[in-house]
Amino acid sequence: VQLQASGGGLVQTGGSLRLSCAVSGSTLSRYRMGWFRQIPGKEREFVAVISWSTGSTHYADSVKGRFTISRDNAKNTVYLQMNSLRPEDTAVYYCAADRKYGSSWPPTSKYEYDYWGQGTLVTVSS
């Protein structure tokens, strides 16, 4: 399974970006797809997850109401729409796939994920 993240960039406070994660090498009907972020020197932290089969979603409290995770079945792609961005959202964002369908929900630990994309940098200027 290969994950290709894109869509990062530089944006001002209050602006928006949409990240994409294109997935190849497997059908995703039994996967849970997550977004994480990491600042240098800090732990990789959970942002959002979506169950491919049910569409159920879960968000970190820090992004709830501002970020939206979604999927496009036809394109095998997961999106993270980020609105009302803040300087503290600056990080490298990673998409990840958890293939353990049926395990506990929501999967918020990085250790629950089996595959990772390469990361895309989001910088929010103040």
| Closest CA relative to residue 82, chosen from 73, 100, 70 | 70
Query: In angstroms, rounded to a whole number, what is the distance separating the alpha carbons of residues 54 and 84?
Result: 27
**Per-residue model confidence as pLDDT tens digits over 70-84:** 999 889 999 999 999
**Per-residue model confidence as pLDDT tens digits over 18-71:** 999 999 988 777 899 999 999 989 999 999 999 998 999 999 999 999 999 999
Residue-level pLDDT at 103:
78
The token pair at 104 is: 């506990």
For residue 95, how many C-alpha atoms fall within 13 Å in the half-sphere facing its CB? 28
Sequence-separated (6 or more) residues with CB below 8 Å from residue 40: none
Sheet holding 17-24, edge to edge: 2-6, 17-24, 77-82, 67-72
Q: Is residue 100's pLDDT more than 90?
A: no
Neighbours of 54 (CB within 10 A): 9
Residue that the structure tokens 């999106």 belong to? 79
| Closest CA relative to residue 83, chosen from 66, 69, 62, 58 | 66
